Structure 1
């Protein structure tokens, strides 16, 4: 199954569709395209509402954490690619769903219960993006066009972000009279610094792909869609070549370090490595290193 012709995933051609195992009989995902490339050892989650600029519907919010968990459970991949079909990555939350969420506190009945229902709804939406941090494998977001509101929230929950020159980022919530509540205010600062995060979030201004790279939000900004597709393939191949336990551990330790002190982080990584350092991966790496050293020494004789 090929990805959308304008998707950043199009540089990989052997995608095989994955069904939603959380549904009866294994139904297809309806708001997403979920697939794997066995050759590249890569999973794909593609937002598939190009006619709506990939605005996230209620279905998408439910399917995103299921897709992330499904790919996390697979041992035949080492990296997950997140992208959007068509010209845009994600233009934010679907307006219809935003209206439904707002109505949770507008009806009659007990105000306390309606506010608790709203809190539970917000926490469920938060989990839809936090699921990408919980995924064992590194998640690479490939971004083109609009990456606005919920879109930039989603991108910030990924491990690595790549974009094309036409990408536009905006923390849009303040223009809607909303305090952003699904992760961007917590995740953006560690990526770009508190001052830049405050300026982006308080002004809701549009940020170009080039500036996003200069500020450290994206790792690379490509001049064309073709360049982005090639960059995606290169990144996927690089990550997929790494030892399994090391890549899982490195992602987990980085996320722990973001949320804890240096002392706590050092203790955590010591505990992690005391559990997982002895491994076949380590044995292979040591043997390869010794073989290279032996070859280099022989060539000097």
Structure 2
């Protein structure tokens, strides 16, 4: 398996279709470095293309999930985008915009990945950490987890996806309050707003529960699972009628697979269904 500077990828068990992606800079509280933004989308693409992978679990090594974007990365962006060529501020601004779009693309890779992504959060989830988790499909955390949309305190307008995704998860009013104050909020408050589905007493308990949930999803029809993710994401941008039309078109193709008759047969025979890899 490919080695990374900022990530570790582990198969849950030798025969499991669940793979864990760990943020692996615990000494920096898993800050998002320039290497991360290069490695993360590549790693997700490789996992997405691997037929052995059905579900991905995103976690962080150490006491904290993610402390946000590494400030060295921010400084590097600003220095490389300074107006040097003929002192042209327009060209400098275009370079900076292109760099920001590249960072955004690394986060959006979570949604672009066809496989469902579950995230387990412990300790701090700050700034860029919020960008990450709001792009995941299912979110859990521990009691000691805390969150902050911190960018406003660093004189930055959050630009990697939180302002676009968070309102749809916690509601517009909650998102505005969190983004403008930059305040720290707890695991229980995150649960009350719907940012996470469940709060666990410990990381061990959370990891065990996530493993069971991920294995359960991995046992389902791969086409049904990826279709559910794809339709849910697409439906955010559509009216109900448009969403219904989209899923009808989707299923008119996907229901022709062998998965449906296999699922029905397994149910009648009271056995576990066996689906082809994707």
TM class by smaller structure: over 0.9
1:133 to 107, 111, 130: 111
2:19 to 18, 43, 52: 43
Match of 1:77? Answer: 53
TM-score by length of 2: 0.93
1:288 to 255, 258, 266: 266
Work out the CA distance in 2 between the residues paired with 1:200 and 1:227: 28
Deviation at 1:291? 3.9
Work out the CA distance in 1 between the residues paired with 2:49 and 2:259: 19
2:82 to 106, 120, 130: 106
Match of 1:242? Answer: 220
Match of 2:153? Answer: 175
- The 5 A counterparts of 1:112-261 are 112-261=90-239
Work out the CA distance in 1 between the residues paired with 2:4 and 2:180: 35
Match of 1:13? Answer: none
Structure 1: gaps of 5 or more residues: 1-17, 20-27, 293-301
Deviation at 1:278? 1.4
Paired residues of 1:40 and 1:236 also in contact (CA < 8 A): no
**1:111-151 deviation digits (Å, cap 9, x = unpaired):** 11111111111110011011010111100111101100001
Structure 1 residues 215 and 235, CA gap change in structure 2 (3 angstroms)? same
User: Aligned-residue CA RMSD in angstroms?
Assistant: 1.2
Work out the CA distance in 2 between the residues paired with 1:226 and 1:85: 13
1:58 to 34, 45, 53: 34
Alignment pair present for 1:89 and 2:61: no
**1:11-46 deviation digits (Å, cap 9, x = unpaired):** xxxxxxx21xxxxxxxx2111112323423112211
- The 5 A counterparts of 1:2-17 are none
User: What is the count of residue pairs matched by the alignment?
Assistant: 267
SS in 2 for 1:205: coil
SS in 2 for 1:151: helix
Moved over 3 A (4+): 104-107, 289-292
Alignment pair present for 1:278 and 2:256: yes
Structure 2: gaps of 5 or more residues: 271-278
Deviation at 1:290? 3.6
TM-score by length of 1: 0.86
SS in 2 for 1:267: helix
